[in-house]
């Protein structure tokens, strides 16, 4: 912050002189005095950081000057300094937007000094908040979702469309595909949401019995252990966005309550009868196939349609082609930057190895693998042997460790493909190079489900 400009408006020359001298003991303060309200108003264009305004001026009353200041420069804090110890006047002035009310007694100068420091501190904090907000906006800007694949370009377009409106968005995709990143990108790209909160709730991480209170809040004494009133996540997200991650894990009874909240646009805290209006944009994510969950009776159909909104399905990394290299390089660059290391290259062999791998843990796994490679490599080059896959759920070893019969393995493989390709028997038969009648026969024998 540059110099801190203070207007001191008081027709008492002696008092004004004393206060100016005192405030000027801080060399950051530039104190300018005015003897009338009109002089002060005429100089507002110079944008003071703070105004100390005497309540009794010869030309205009303190409240008139305050109103005129607030009309045109509502952000300038105005501290009323008055010889009157009148509580009702003070309350009226504070209601009109005065920052503080100081009585001209023996402590007045000290209180004015403190008020100036408080305003200065608040201004610094506001600057800091603006700077951090810009940083966060940039961090989660959707241009930071790396990749060039056609499938990702479609995702960019959907995020843009989602950001332009208030539509509910359902984000699906395997674990590690970046569902939360997309939710953040939608929130932070929505211009009307930037100053409102994004409240994320991981449904799977909260025990069922606590989830209702977590989402909707509770009143003091609503249940054993509710020692204080608590505001729920929906209320906290008011005006902003609530992101319900792993929505597929929500208990059926709570699904009914969530549906009601979404329909009525109001929440009622546990133990209260008073609904609270909410206006929060809803984003949901799941790695489950919700339609399938509905079919199996594990997810309410009405809630499914309420939440579906704009569906964004994130592709697994293995279907994003060359994005794995772009992302891999990005993660290595970020890692070396954060650790102040020299730049590291990916050799063609390393890139080939990355492209051949299935990445079951998706982007999250890629990030971990690349960071480890950056640590293990020599001569600022990541080679094929520096890349070690650590997935716990992939590979033949894992598959055959179940020790089943060959027929069972066949059934598992075919069922996996049927699940993956929307029960399209013809497509699966073609992909596995088997007869479709073979699949139909297994279905008929109830060995497979379609």
Partner 1 sequence: MPDKLYNLSQLQELAGGSDDFVNSMVETFLEYTPGQLDDMIKSYECGDLDQLGAIAHKIKPNIDLFAITNIYHQIRLVEEHGKNNINSPELESSLQEVSKVLQEVFKQLEQR
Interface residues toward partner 1, by CB under 8 A: 11-15, 17-19, 21-22, 25, 56, 83-84, 104-106, 108-109
Nearer CB in complex with partner 1: 75/106? 106
Nearer CB in complex with partner 1: 29/268? 29
Q: Which of 142, 122, 235 is nearest to 188 (CA)?
A: 142
Nearer CB in complex with partner 1: 104/187? 104
d(CA 74, CA 60): 19
Nearer CB in complex with partner 1: 113/156? 113
For residues 77 and 102, the answer to whether their CB atoms sit within 8 Å is: no
> Which tokens hold the place of 171?
């984000």
For residues 376 and 386, the answer to whether their CB atoms sit within 8 Å is: yes
Q: How far is the CB of 105 from partner 1 (least distance, A)?
A: 7
Nearer CB in complex with partner 1: 18/132? 18
3-state secondary structure of 20: helix
Q: How far is the CB of 85 from partner 1 (least distance, A)?
A: 10
Nearer CB in complex with partner 1: 36/347? 36
d(CA 207, CA 205): 7
CB atoms within 10 A of CB 151: 15
d(CA 191, CA 160): 11
Nearer CB in complex with partner 1: 56/390? 56
CA distances (Å), 442 to each of 117, 148, 194, 410, in order?
79, 41, 54, 11
Q: How far is the CB of 63 from partner 1 (least distance, A)?
A: 16
For residues 183 and 243, the answer to whether their CB atoms sit within 8 Å is: yes
Bin 395: left if φ > 0, else alpha if -120 < ψ < 50, else beta: left
Q: How far is the CB of 4 from partner 1 (least distance, A)?
A: 17
d(CA 31, CA 19): 9
> Which tokens hold the place of 388?
């070690």
3-state secondary structure of 380: coil
d(CA 168, CA 178): 18
Q: How far is the CB of 89 from partner 1 (least distance, A)?
A: 13
Residue 267 DSSP one-character state: E
Q: How far is the CB of 83 from partner 1 (least distance, A)?
A: 5
For residues 285 and 183, the answer to whether their CB atoms sit within 8 Å is: yes
Nearer CB in complex with partner 1: 102/428? 102
Contacts of 391 (CB under 8 A, 6+ apart): 359, 360, 361, 365
Nearer CB in complex with partner 1: 104/193? 104
Q: How far is the CB of 40 from partner 1 (least distance, A)?
A: 18
Q: How far is the CB of 58 from partner 1 (least distance, A)?
A: 9
Q: How far is the CB of 12 from partner 1 (least distance, A)?
A: 5
């Amino acid at each position: 912050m540059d110099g801190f400009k203070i207007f001191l408006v008081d027709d008492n020359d002696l008092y004004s002189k004393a206060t100016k001298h005192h405030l000027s003991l801080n060399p950051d303060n530039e104190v300018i005095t005015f003897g009338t309200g009109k002089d002060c108003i005429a100089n507002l264009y110079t944008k003071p950081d703070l105004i100390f305004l005497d309540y009794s001026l010869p030309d205009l009353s303190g409240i008139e000057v305050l109103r005129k200041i607030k009309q045109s420069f509502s952000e300038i804090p105005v501290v009323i300094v008055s010889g009157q110890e009148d509580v009702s006047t003070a309350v009226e002035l504070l209601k009109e937007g005065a920052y503080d009310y100081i009585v001209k007694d023996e402590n007045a100068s000290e209180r004015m000094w403190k008020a100036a420091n408080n305003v200065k501190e608040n201004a610094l904090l506001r600057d800091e908040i603006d700077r951090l907000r810009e940083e966060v906006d940039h961090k989660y800007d959707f241009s930071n979702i790396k990749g060039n694949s056609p499938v990702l370009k479609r995702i960019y377009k959907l995020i843009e469309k989602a950001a332009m409106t208030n539509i509910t968005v359902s984000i699906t995709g395997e674990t590690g595909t970046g569902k939360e990143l997309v939710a953040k990108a939608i929130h932070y790209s929505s211009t009307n949401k930037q100053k409102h909160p994004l409240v994320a709730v991981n449904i799977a991480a909260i025990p069922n019995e606590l989830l209702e209170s977590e989402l909707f809040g509770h009143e003091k004494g609503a249940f054993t252990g509710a020692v204080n009133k608590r505001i729920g996540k929906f209320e906290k997200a008011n005006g902003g966005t609530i992101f319900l991650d792993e929505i597929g894990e929500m208990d059926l009874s709570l699904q009914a309550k969530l549906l009601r909240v979404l329909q009525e646009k109001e929440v009622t805290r546990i133990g209260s009868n008073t609904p609270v209006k909410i206006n929060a944009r809803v984003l949901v994510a799941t790695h489950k196939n919700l339609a399938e969950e509905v079919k199996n009776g594990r997810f309410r159909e009405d809630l499914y349609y309420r939440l579906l909104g704009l569906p964004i399905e994130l592709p697994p990394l293995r279907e994003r082609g060359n994005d794995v290299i772009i992302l891999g390089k990005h993660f290595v660059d970020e890692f070396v930057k954060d650790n102040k290391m020299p730049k590291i290259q990916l050799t063609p062999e390393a890139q080939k190895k990355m492209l051949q791998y299935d990445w079951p843990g998706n982007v999250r796994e890629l990030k971990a693998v690349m960071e480890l490679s950056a640590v293990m490599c020599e001569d600022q080059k990541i080679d094929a042997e520096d890349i070690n896959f650590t997935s716990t759920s992939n590979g033949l070893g894992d598959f055959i460790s179940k020790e089943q019969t060959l027929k069972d393995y066949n059934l598992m493989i075919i069922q996996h493909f049927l699940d993956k390709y929307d029960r399209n028997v013809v497509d699966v038969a073609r992909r596995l190079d088997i007869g479709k009648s073979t699949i139909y026969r297994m279905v008929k024998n109830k060995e497979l489900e379609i």
